[in-house]
Amino acid sequence: MPRETVTTPKRTRRARPAQPRSPRAVYVLSDSTGNLARHMLGAFLTQFPPRAVVLRVEPFVRTLPRLKEILERARHADAAVCHAMVSQELKKFIELTCRKAGLPCRDLTGGIVEFLSEATGLPARPDVAALHRLDQAYKRRISALEFTLEHDDALGIATLHEADIVLAGVSRTSKTPTSIYLAQQGYRVANVALAMEVGPPEPLLAMPPRKVVGLIINPAQLTMIRARRQAAWGMGATNYGDARHVAREVAWARRLFSDRGWSIIDVTDQAIEETAARVLTATGHHAQYTTDVPSELR
């Protein structure tokens, strides 16, 4: 009789859970405020998982000793390096130092500056101060911001006609933050809060329809926003946060905007930046610059 062989199943080793990767440090060097580089990388990093990268912004890097000190710290941290420098000398030093240290390095502005120089046939000026001159564009932005603060929530209604843009909407539809954001770009923006129980002010109704934008929001979301505000302020029970009343109020506002021929923008789950861009499109204020620079990059 042949002996029966018994085979025992091999024990499989459990795979160890992958260790979470530490976020890569990226040093961001600028000889100005660093806002341009911060905005660029902030936009690019939306395409990656949260906390994939730790940005360390180093602004006003204008001397070689300070640059050497920062790059030495980057080398010890095994960091990547991005830079938006005007000085060709500092650009070359960064590239050479990173190459020797084996650090990934990227010039955020060099390529586009060279492209624009070739396209225009004009040489670029290595002028660090050019971005922050107190010129007419700067003064226009400051004046616009002052105007907007003086015309917040129906203030300064007598001079509403001086506004470039007027935002209208019921309470808590992001009118104020959108107004301020647009003012920082040089637009004189006023905003007017509306209530179903009170007729719109005459100066608002007298505005050219192309200058007025009505902001609306999903009633359920607005109810939650107002409920949080009521709780924070210790308010008693009112129609302000009542779901049925809020729904009627939003429907009333939409009808008003439609009847007046005003543009309507739904701000539900929408960032201020996106709302502002839609407002500019709706009112015909297309963002166009010559040697002027958008204020958010200053």
The residues that bridge with 84 in the sheet, in sequence order, are: 30
- Nearest-angstrom CA–CA distance, 69 and 61: 10
Question: DSSP secondary-structure letter at 195?
Answer: B
- Nearest-angstrom CA–CA distance, 239 and 252: 15
**Residue 197 three-state SS:** coil
Alpha carbon of 132 to those of 98, 192, 298: distances in Å? 29, 33, 7
210-262: pLDDT as tens digits: 999 999 999 999 999 998 888 887 777 778 889 999 999 999 999 999 999 99
Structure confidence at residue 113 as a pLDDT band (50, 70, 90): confident
Output 113-118 pairs: Cβ under 8 A, ≥24 positions apart.
none
| Residue 289 clears pLDDT 60, i.e. is over it | no
> Please, what is the average pLDDT of the chain?
87
Residues carrying CATH 3.40.50.2300, the chain: 24-132
Q: Is there a contact between 151 and 159 (Cβ–Cβ < 8 Å)?
A: yes
pTM of the model: 0.74
Structure confidence at residue 120 as a pLDDT band (50, 70, 90): confident
Question: 158, 203, 149, 207: which is closest to 176 by C-alpha?
Answer: 149
Question: DSSP secondary-structure letter at 21?
Answer: P
- Nearest-angstrom CA–CA distance, 245 and 238: 10
| Residue 19 clears pLDDT 60, i.e. is over it | no
**Residue 193 three-state SS:** strand
Fold classification of 24-132 is Rossmann fold (3.40.50)
What architecture does CATH give domain 136-297?
Answer: 3-Layer(aba) Sandwich (3.40)
166-193: pLDDT as tens digits: 999 999 999 999 999 999 989 999 999 9
